Structure 1
């Protein structure tokens, strides 16, 4: 019985990761980067970070007395971080409230008005949803991989630079991969995500949240509020289908910590990529209206994120709205930036990619610059909003307005590969429409999307796009 109990505890610990919020290393990085003055708690942080955490007495959340005591100390410290002042020399202005964001953003970018028919709107929206699905599927098998591992596997299967979905290596190819000792390998459970063995889109949070965003607007209307988002999640999405900041926000809802406090209560992941991947429907539903798309995105993001975590969702939603009416990717990107504060880290980081592109730095050079700034082996860097937003900008700028190059160059750059492939595919799709996406990429998806959202466990992408349009028209 004791052995069974130990096994069950181990299984729960693996599934409950991100629930306790006691990721002390990430909290330390996050608090420093958002500008908190940590002088009064520096020694306490260092002592907790340096504490060895091995053995059964340290089991996550359900461990022995030593583990529980450590977690209590970490939790208390993380709570205190929210009361600390910001450093006087902090150079950024990064509000999280909507009024503050509006007051600190630059002048808007002029765009043409959307004048397309409903048929054209559906063609574009369908393209965005299909493009998002394809880009996500391309990146999903290598999510969490370092670039070297992606390249080793792709090269061994004759697919580098990427020009198609990944496929399962032959025995000889797998042996060659093994000799190069990559950190990550393809396994049998990857089969539903690989060329030749995929049959429609597998469930993924990147497509779950697009469906969720649509469902929230359908249920609560265009005036939905952050609390409506929290209620919808709790009623329609199992908690373990969420990750990082979203899982912690969900935990907070359950114990009656509601928005906006749900975004900060023991949430070290409050500027990670989670909100950025939730933007899409808010852009789909607002063609040519990036300001309203960004506002809807703020209402969604503010339940789980702050500062640049929020800005990432606003930026993507605004770009999607702009891509209906603007053909220049530089202007699309700048239209998104016009919805976020002028003096924020996300703007600075994306401007860095725009500068590299304007100066003629090639794709490999731009990728190298991102990897120099961020450490892909550090979870905070790998999953941060800003590092991945830079890769989205990279994919759009260096994709040469070609669908295949846009999504593959986003995935080849590494970091959160499925998220970045999905966002780039979505943006390209809304600009060009579903019928512009090559059959090579669309046919393996079989017009089928699977999600973890109640009522949408398996749905035709074309049918979902039509339903999304119907709701968008009603709430325009």
Structure 2
């Protein structure tokens, strides 16, 4: 079948030559079959990448996965993983939550519908997603729920791994993809955490209209403000790729050397674990640039870069799957996929086959809303030139100084002192005797007064439920630099619940080395 569309950047220069205001926007024409094939490739690519990288997720932190280490892939593996390890697919079930809201409430559904849907869902969440969920359940609204002052994980990867839907809804329209994702991304993220989703959404969008991964990576970065650390990190990866075009490992080392410091997430401060959006996005770009359109190389590199090594190949595989189309994803990577396409993702009523169809419907609606046309079997898309979003930066003026192990259960009160301008206290309320890592449940909610320098900061509500947990016990930024006293009082203690105080992270207004 003859293709009826042209590919950027072959005609990019002609398409984006400035002209008079009356000049119509450049357009790309696709057949409906081609658009559907690309949408399928985007969703299937996510599942392939997530499944492939699942066994290595956060098992290689601060180190790459060496070439001699095998990573399994075989016929039936996707179905087996979807049934037996369904918690792996937070990439997908979060995406599908938002797709489902758009389907049921329309494309103009307010952000509150999305926030409530994911906050009240039964699935497991972590990091920025879980803090955002806790904030929504406690009555806070977006975008405050994702702001770094209310969410210590604001720079984490969460929106980056679930922003795929925005780009798949907006083929060739990166600014529209950003607009769709903006309010949703701020439910759980801010700053670099939001930029991760902006960037991934833009890459999906441009993957519909370009067959050049270099172009997709570079052009999509124009949606990110150059002053941001996210932009600087990804721009470094692009430049290192130019400098070391045949050596992805050299670029990996450069990324590690310059961008591996963690500030926000308490699990990553002074640790090799790093769930920050920008470094994991760097690994997505690493896979795309050094893979150069080869699906196997892209999967291997984005996975073997380590850290969040299921989410990163999921994003890279989805973007490349969109560019290539479902039919051109190699048979090796689609083995066993057909038998999994009718399985509903856990906690949802949606399968891959469902989202292929719904995704096509939404994309056509978005095309027509934004100057395009759907006429018979042909779709004309009004292309957009990427524009930078507003500047946001989290944790400015805050530098980790100390990670103090407390590792004790609170029985009544606890008091400690620290010197700095902020803190995070990690820990959890958990039913005694429930030792499983996930899915502990109780209706009990601990109430804990938090005092800073004798003044009550808040009464923290701490559910002893994995799906409703607060994730971190207490935090406060932008304190006056100096000596502070933190006091905790458990208001409703019970013998059935352990309220564990784990670590105290202390921040200062200068980096450690600048203090000497």
Query: Does TM-score exceed 0.5, indicating one fold?
Result: yes
Which structure has greater strand proportion?
2
The range that moved more, 197-206 or 437-446, is 197-206
SS of 1:114's equivalent in the other structure is: strand
CA distance in 2, matches of 1:366, 1:227: 41
Unaligned runs of 5+ in 2: 1-14, 18-24, 368-516
Contact 2:119 2:134 in 1 (8 A): no
Contact 2:213 2:292 in 1 (8 A): no
Q: TM-score, normalised by structure 1?
A: 0.64
Q: TM-score, normalised by structure 2?
A: 0.60
Using the TM superposition, give the Cα deviation of residue 124 of structure 1 relative to its aligned residue in structure 2, in angstroms. 0.3
* Corresponding residue for residue 245 of structure 1: 128
* Corresponding residue for residue 474 of structure 1: 365
Contact 1:114 1:287 in 2 (8 A): no
Using the TM superposition, give the Cα deviation of residue 462 of structure 1 relative to its aligned residue in structure 2, in angstroms. 3.1
Using the TM superposition, give the Cα deviation of residue 216 of structure 1 relative to its aligned residue in structure 2, in angstroms. 2.5
CA distance in 1, matches of 2:223, 2:187: 19
Q: Does 1:121 find its partner at 2:72?
A: no
Tell me: CA distance 1:450–1:143, structure 2 relative to 1, closer, same or farther (3 Å): farther
Contact 1:137 1:418 in 2 (8 A): yes
CA distance in 2, matches of 1:196, 1:455: 16
* Corresponding residue for residue 131 of structure 1: 45
Using the TM superposition, give the Cα deviation of residue 234 of structure 1 relative to its aligned residue in structure 2, in angstroms. 3.3
Write the deviation string for residues 306-350 of structure 1: whole angstroms up to 9, x where unpaired: 111111111111111111112222221222211121211111000
Write the deviation string for residues 224-246 of structure 1: whole angstroms up to 9, x where unpaired: 332222122134x22x5111111
Using the TM superposition, give the Cα deviation of residue 374 of structure 1 relative to its aligned residue in structure 2, in angstroms. 4.5
Aligned runs of 1:335-354 on 2, under 5 Å? Answer: 335-354=219-238
Contact 2:198 2:224 in 1 (8 A): yes
Matched pairs, number? 333
* Corresponding residue for residue 221 of structure 1: 106
* Corresponding residue for residue 172 of structure 2: 288
CA distance in 1, matches of 2:176, 2:209: 15
SS of 1:379's equivalent in the other structure is: coil
Within the candidate set 280, 298, 311, 2:182 is matched to 298
Contact 1:241 1:452 in 2 (8 A): no
Using the TM superposition, give the Cα deviation of residue 197 of structure 1 relative to its aligned residue in structure 2, in angstroms. 6.0
CA distance in 1, matches of 2:80, 2:127: 30
Using the TM superposition, give the Cα deviation of residue 410 of structure 1 relative to its aligned residue in structure 2, in angstroms. 0.1
SS of 2:307's equivalent in the other structure is: coil
Using the TM superposition, give the Cα deviation of residue 351 of structure 1 relative to its aligned residue in structure 2, in angstroms. 0.4
Q: Does 1:209 find its partner at 2:97?
A: no
Using the TM superposition, give the Cα deviation of residue 214 of structure 1 relative to its aligned residue in structure 2, in angstroms. 1.5
* Corresponding residue for residue 346 of structure 2: 452
Contact 1:109 1:334 in 2 (8 A): no
* Corresponding residue for residue 146 of structure 2: 263
CA distance in 1, matches of 2:93, 2:279: 22
Contact 1:205 1:242 in 2 (8 A): yes
Using the TM superposition, give the Cα deviation of residue 198 of structure 1 relative to its aligned residue in structure 2, in angstroms. 5.0
CA distance in 2, matches of 1:230, 1:349: 30
> Using CA pairs below 8 Å that are at least 6 residues apart, which structure has the higher relative contact order?
1
Contact 1:147 1:412 in 2 (8 A): no
SS of 1:116's equivalent in the other structure is: strand
RMSD between superposed Cα atoms in Å:
2.8
Contact 2:64 2:304 in 1 (8 A): yes
Q: Does 1:367 find its partner at 2:252?
A: yes
CA distance in 1, matches of 2:78, 2:116: 38
Q: Does 1:232 find its partner at 2:97?
A: no
Contact 1:114 1:324 in 2 (8 A): no
CA distance in 1, matches of 2:307, 2:63: 12
